[in-house]
Amino acid sequence: NIKILISSINKLFNKVFYELTQWISYPLIWVPGVIGVKLRKYIYKIYLFKCGSNVNISIGCYIRDFKNISFGNNIKLGINAQIYAGDNSKIKIGNSLSTNSNIMINADCGGYIEIKENVLIGPNVVIRVSNHTSTRTDIPINRQGHTAGRIIINEDVWLGANVVVLPDVEIGKGSIVAAGAVVTKNVGNYCIVGGIPAKLIKMRN
């Protein structure tokens, strides 16, 4: 059957292409200095679904599944950032994102993450859009798969150090999430929230 043959060839091509991108990108992760920044910018501009201008990716940053990730202009990723978008997930990052070190943006397992313009992200922040399924008790959790969700972070948001943003959350424009908070539900515009789970502390306006 011609259709089956074409499908098999496409799958093989995609696997080979994915493997090649990993081999090409991995050494780039650890190239230091200005040369490393320029090399990463050049290579990621080729492989990402979209990559704007003035993208600065620091040493140690690991990006997986380039085809599902879009970067706007003026992006700065701190040391050891991790960005994952496997399994038909999508990550869309708008203009002027600035992150500190050791952050994770994880949309694996079919999730969607959108970070809009002028967002600040402190060190050790985790933004994860999918959870392990745990409804059954007759089989281990690690065999139950995942449930995918969505996270939207609107314009002019500041996430402090060690913040965790969980699935199916929208953080409103101009809001601040205090250090160490765990965001489990929507945050309105111009709110300052903190705690576990995050609750309103006061309004900015």
- Residues identified as active-site: 132
- Tell me how far apart the alpha carbons of residues 156 and 29 are, in angstroms, rounded to a whole number: 29
Residue 197, preceding peptide bond in cis (omega within 30° of 0): yes
Eight-class DSSP state of 172: P
- DSSP bridge pairs for 120: 98, 158
Give ∠ CA 141-142-147 in degrees, rounded to 5. 75
Q: Are the C-beta atoms of 146 and 163 separated by less than 8 Å? A: no
Q: CA-CA distances (angstroms) from residue 87 to 6, 13, 55, 142, 183?
A: 21, 17, 25, 17, 24
